Amino acid sequence: MLSFIKDKISRIDPIIFICTSLLSLISIAVLIGARESEFGGTRTIIMQVAMTLAGLIIMIMLANVDFANVPSWFFVFAYAISAVFLVLLLFVGENAGENVNWIKIPLVNISIQPSEFVRASFILTFAKHLSVVKDEINRPKNVLLLVLHAGGILGLLLLTGDLGMVLVYLGIMIVMLFCAGFSIWYFLAGIGAAVVAFPFLWDYLADYQKKRILVGFNPDMDPLDKGLQQIQSRSAIAGGGFLGRGIEGAGSFENMYGCVTDFFFASYAEMFGFVGSLLLVGILTVLVIRLFLLAAQNRDPFSALLLAGIGGMVIVQTVENIGMCLCLLPVVGITLPFLSAGGSSVLSIYMIIGIAHAASGSRKKGSIRKIKTI
């Protein structure tokens, strides 16, 4: 029995495991401190602990899967199922604010956020696609197919109104393309097209979307509505000072919507201050560096791209989330990886980290193929 357990955990990368475990412990500590807030409570703590434990079990199971030898039809199937779930979301999804994000499972009365779980499928299938065309990635035909691959999922997400997730998926795609050797000229062309198209796309945005973007950079424009969350977040972060008020001493976030979910960082910063915030960012930075180091050491292009995509996901979500808490970026409803309360968020992130462990287990001394920029 002991040898069986030892064999199962042998593919767990210790640095990734330590970083993710520390982040989950921090999450639970903050939830305990915020238990008296309007949006906290015992049920939230129990759910976070349960989903973390379930996530750890799933992570260990996935860490022992050899994704490099999974048959090609599995990736086609995974992409199709992801698309079906997102289409289903458009018809039976429940609103979360102005977005359609949740599907309620009958009988058990539990809601899930499909876009959280589809991330794992997107990273897997896109990495597989890139690894198949890696030697001819810059051929126009392959570029078009890659754009269609990513565009199908991004388009469905846009229809749900979940701009935050669209940005996360877009960031993952860009990082993976860069690491796979995508020409810099295509990136420049994409940036140029986005700049030209932006004025036209702006006219098609709903009024609330325009207001959210504008107020995101200046919350004082609408302090009683769209800017309220960020103003409260800013006050909580400033109130934490250098060392913080402690778990029991903080509380200015008590009536702040999202104080344990999207605005988790504000609650944490008030409790642990500037020093604690540096520690948190430091742990996330170590995690990202480890993921990219493992990618660089991996001789298998598919596994290397999996690790790079996961590293890109952590970067984009962290920057987006902390940026909106600091009033530097618009509020787009993005969770802080491993930290924000939420069953779908926690379970899906541990699934993705399980894939990262599996990919790291296939590494050998070597490097991801050289990036071609021309």
**Which structure tokens are listed for 131?**
């690894």
pLDDT at 26 over 60: yes
Phi, psi of 166, rounded to the nearest 5 degrees: -60, -45
Q: Per-residue confidence at 97, pLDDT binned at 50, 70, 90?
A: low
Average pLDDT of the chain is 85
Place of tokens 């980290």: 353
CA distance 177 to 189: 14
Across residues 140-151, what is the average pLDDT?
Answer: 93
* pLDDT > 90 in the chain, percent: 45
332, 36 in Cβ contact below 8 A?
no
42-52: per-residue pLDDT in tens?
A: 888 898 999 99
Q: Rounded to whole angstroms, how far apart are CA atoms 242 and 213?
A: 30
Write down the pLDDT at residue 222: 77
Contacting residues for 97 by C-beta, under 8 A, at least 6 apart: 333
Least confident piece of the model among 243-257, 297-311, 324-338: 243-257
Please write down the HEC assignment for all residues of the chain: CHHHHHHHHCCCCHHHHHHHHHHHHHHHHHHHHCCCCCCCCHHHHHHHHHHHHHHHHHHHHHHCCCHHHCCHHHHHHHHHHHHHHHHHHHHHCEEECCEEEEEEECCCCEEECHHHHHHHHHHHHHHHHHHHCHHHCCCHHHHHHHHHHHHHHHHHHHHHCCHHHHHHHHHHHHHHHHHHCCCHHHHHHHHHHHHHHHHHHHHHCCHHHHHHHHHHHCHHHCCCCCCHHHHHHHHHHHHHCCCCCCCCCCCCCCCCCCCCCCCHHHHHHHHHHHHHHHHHHHHHHHHHHHHHHHHHHCCCHHHHHHHHHHHHHHHHHHHHHHHHHCCCCCCCCCCCCCCCCCHHHHHHHHHHHHHHHHHHCCCCCCCCCCCCCC
* Res 374 pLDDT > 60: no
- Residue 227 in contact with residue 215, Cβ under 8 Å? yes
Report pLDDT for 364. Answer: 46
Q: Give the pLDDT band (50/70/90) at residue 5.
A: low
**At how many degrees (to 10) do helices 163-180 and 140-160 cross?**
160
pLDDT of 34 strictly over 90: no
Tell me what the mean pLDDT of segment 81-85 comes to. Answer: 91
Q: What pLDDT, in 10s, does the model give residues 248-301?
A: 766 666 666 677 888 899 989 999 999 999 999 999 999 999 999 999 998 889
Instruction: Tell me what pLDDT residue 373 has.
Output: 35
Please name the residue that has the structure tokens 């409803």.
Answer: 333
What's residue 255's pLDDT?
62
Give, rounded to a whole angstrom, the gap between the first and last alpha carbons of the chain: 54
Rounded to whole angstroms, how far apart are CA atoms 76 and 37? 45
Look at residue 339 and tell me whether its pLDDT is greater than 60: yes
pLDDT of 371 > 60? The answer is no
The closest alpha carbon to 262, from 222, 225, 232, 292, belongs to: 232
- With 80 as the cut, is the pLDDT of residue 180 above it? yes
How much of the chain exceeds pLDDT 70, in percent?
Answer: 87
What are the tens digits of pLDDT across the range 205-256? 777 777 777 887 788 887 777 788 888 888 888 888 888 888 776 666 666 6
pLDDT category at 142 given cuts 50, 70, 90 is: very high
Give the type of residue at 166: V
Residue 20 confidence (pLDDT) above 90? yes
CB atoms within 10 A of CB 214: 15
Flag whether pLDDT at 368 surpasses 60. no
Q: How much is the average pLDDT of 55-76?
A: 89
pTM: 0.89
